[in-house]
Amino acid sequence: MSEPIVTDYLVIGSGIAGLHFANLASAHGKVIVVTKKAPDDTNTNWAQGGVAAVLGDDDSLERHVEDTLVVGDGLCNRAVVEMTVREGPEQVRRLLEYGVRLAHGDDGKLDLTREGGHSRRRVVHHEDITGREIQRALLEATRKNPQITLLDDHIAVDLLSMAKYGGEPACFGAYVLDRDAGEVKTILARATVLASGGAGKVYVYTSNPDVATGDGIAMAYRIGAVVSNLEFVQFHPTVLFHPHAKSFLISEALRGEGGKLRLASGERFMDAYHPLAELGPRDVVARAIDNEIKKSGADSVFLDMTHLDADFVRGRFPNISERCLALGIDMTKQPIPVVPAAHYMCGGVKVDDVGRTNIRGLYAIGETSSTGLHGACRLASNSLLEGMVFAARAADDVRDVESVRPRQVAPWSSGHATDSNDAIVVTLNWDEIRRFMWSYVGIVRTDKRIDRARSRIELLREEIKQYYWDFKIDSDIIELRNLALVAHLIIESARRRKESRGLHYTLDYPDKDPAPHDTDLHLTDGPPAA
């Protein structure tokens, strides 16, 4: 067994939040970044829209704050919203310093686009692949930084907790599986930062990459961190409906530039659901599309760009246009078939305004966290903004974190576990979880559906727990274990919210509770984590 690896800061995840934190924190300590596949296999890399910030002459901080609060449907933390919006423009300047190639207009100013829920054009972008461009620049800076060690093909197994040694709740690193070597390493750190993204893969239809299995949320919960508002899963209204598209996202920016949603008959329908029609909040648009599909029995609705200038559409959305053309859809001449899909976790590990959890030495930033910014529904393009703002604040805060760890750290032990000869169990359990979560805890919910999901997940978690301890671990069982726990937490959160608010819509409780509240879960609230 190899000796523990010691660093100042351990970052789990290599998206915008993790890499921005690493580059800033490297000014006062050594950083190890672990990422379970390639460093650019992240939700950030898949983000199309951009970063929302107040940069236009006709905009104001107050307008951005108000737009965020309206979409958040009464659950945003106003102080956090005001802080994030205020610090947004500075983070956009940091992107430019990294070398991110943001689009500029003919006047030399940053080109600003508009997305759903925004009252002004305030989203900076790079064509329709903003996330990919940000990921490129941040990775380039990370690889040049001698203070940062980037470990790809490494998946975190569990966080190291002082509670296991009879001490106070405190985190001092993690066990990490080197997927190539098959070896579990022990990495010790003064501060551990969860930046592992969301959990879209808990649903069968999602815009997320395969890595989005809720690892950070699950690991944090297992050592006693509070998780909050996990019932608020944002379903993106428009994902390309095509058997070979693998849930390719059709950016909200298309609607921001004038795209119209239509039925197969050509009839528009969003005016009946929201005053902003196609630019209504994502929860409203997703439910509207879901309702129209169910009413008509159709496979999809259609996003129509054909009334716009063809050269503009191709120039503004080159990546989407190219992908559609490869599948036989010319978006300048025919509408794009679209359906909703799981997109973003508005809840997560509960943190304060610098990313600290209730566990000493453990931070969470980006989609893994629940900061109070998004409330019951996220305003479009506030996610990359949040990742950068909280990464910067956490990087400043960790400089004073003191090392807390036992004198002797127990190495990872597989016990009597053997090599698995029944891997099909993992595949079948993975598939079953994702399908019943979509059917029972999806866009529209009921108590009966939630109870069915609850019964199924508890049986499956017992099966998974037994498999986990009987066989030697690999990335598949690690992800399944985490996915099952996150599914349990989403179900339990949804079961406790007896109202319809934002992204949580239930036919049994169609009205809002007059007293807005968060849904916080802690390890002592339910069955032990596997």
Question: What is the pLDDT confidence band of residue 446, given thresholds at 50, 70 and 90?
Answer: very high
Nearest one of 226, 220, 228 to 193, comparing CA atoms: 220
Q: Report the alpha-carbon distance of residue 509 to residue 524 in Å, rounded.
A: 27
Strand partners, 222: none
> Domain limits of the chain?
11-232+346-400, 236-342, 424-515
Counting Cβ atoms within 10 Å, is residue 443 exposed (0-12), middle (13-18) or buried (19+)?
buried
Q: Report the alpha-carbon distance of residue 98 to residue 175 in Å, rounded.
A: 31
Nearest one of 360, 314, 318, 319 to 333, comparing CA atoms: 314
Give the contacts of 99 (CB within 8 A, at least 6 positions apart): 137, 140, 141
Q: Is the pLDDT of residue 129 over 60?
A: yes
Q: Report the alpha-carbon distance of residue 51 to residue 122 in Å, rounded.
A: 8
CATH architecture of the domain covering 236-342: Alpha-Beta Complex (3.90)
Question: 50, 72 in Cβ contact below 8 A?
Answer: no
The pLDDT, as a whole number, for residue 493 is 98
Mean pLDDT of 204-215: 91
Question: 401, 361 in Cβ contact below 8 A?
Answer: yes
Give the contacts of 96 (CB within 8 A, at least 6 positions apart): 102
Give the number of other Cβ atoms within 10 Å of residue 422's Cβ.
9
The pLDDT, as a whole number, for residue 168 is 86
How does DSSP classify residue 165? G
More confident residue, 42 or 105: 105
Q: Tell me the pairing of strands 51-52 and 123-124.
A: antiparallel
The fold of 11-232+346-400 is FAD/NAD(P)-binding domain (3.50.50)
What's the sign of the alpha-carbon dihedral 155, 161, 164, 165?
Answer: positive
CA angle 45, 49, 50 (to 5 degrees): 80
Question: What is the pLDDT confidence band of residue 72, given thresholds at 50, 70 and 90?
Answer: very high
Question: What is the pLDDT confidence band of residue 524, given thresholds at 50, 70 and 90?
Answer: low
Catalytic pick from 136, 222, 282, 495? 282
In a 3-state reduction of DSSP, which class is residue 436? Answer: helix
Q: Is the pLDDT of residue 460 over 60?
A: yes
- For residue 389, the surrounding DSSP H or E stretch is helix 382-397
- Report the chain's mean pLDDT, rounded to a whole number: 93
pLDDT in tens, 255-295: 989 999 999 999 999 999 999 999 888 888 999 999 999 88
The pLDDT, as a whole number, for residue 445 is 95
- For residue 220, the surrounding DSSP H or E stretch is helix 215-222
pLDDT in tens, 387-440: 999 999 999 999 999 989 998 998 888 766 777 666 788 889 999 999 999 999
Give catalytic status of residue 268 as yes or no: no
Helix, strand, coil percentages in the chain from 3-state DSSP, rounded to 5 = 40, 20, 40
Mean pLDDT of 225-242: 95
Does the domain at 424-515 match CATH 1.20.58.100? Answer given as: yes
Output the six-digit token pair for 197: 């993204």
Mean pLDDT of 103-114: 92
Q: At what angle do helices 61-71 and 78-98 cross, to 10 degrees?
A: 120
Question: 429, 477 in Cβ contact below 8 A?
Answer: no
pLDDT in tens, 462-500: 988 888 877 788 899 999 999 999 999 999 999 999 999
In a 3-state reduction of DSSP, which class is residue 386? Answer: helix
Give the amino acid at 404. V
Beta strands in 78-143 (DSSP E): 112-113, 123-124
| Complete DSSP assignment for 91-107 | HHHHHHHHT----B-TT
The pLDDT, as a whole number, for residue 526 is 47
Q: Is the pLDDT of residue 23 over 80?
A: yes
Q: Report the alpha-carbon distance of residue 49 to residue 46 in Å, rounded.
A: 10
Distances (CA, A) of 111 to 55, 105, 108, 257, 310: 10, 5, 9, 13, 19
More confident residue, 403 or 91: 91
Question: What is the pLDDT confidence band of residue 201, given thresholds at 50, 70 and 90?
Answer: very high
Q: Do 11-232+346-400 and 236-342 fold alike per CATH?
A: no
Give the contacts of 402 (CB within 8 A, at least 6 positions apart): 190
Specify the pTM.
0.92
The pLDDT, as a whole number, for residue 528 is 43
Q: What is the chain's Cα-based Rg?
A: 22
Q: Report the alpha-carbon distance of residue 35 to residue 18 in Å, rounded.
A: 10
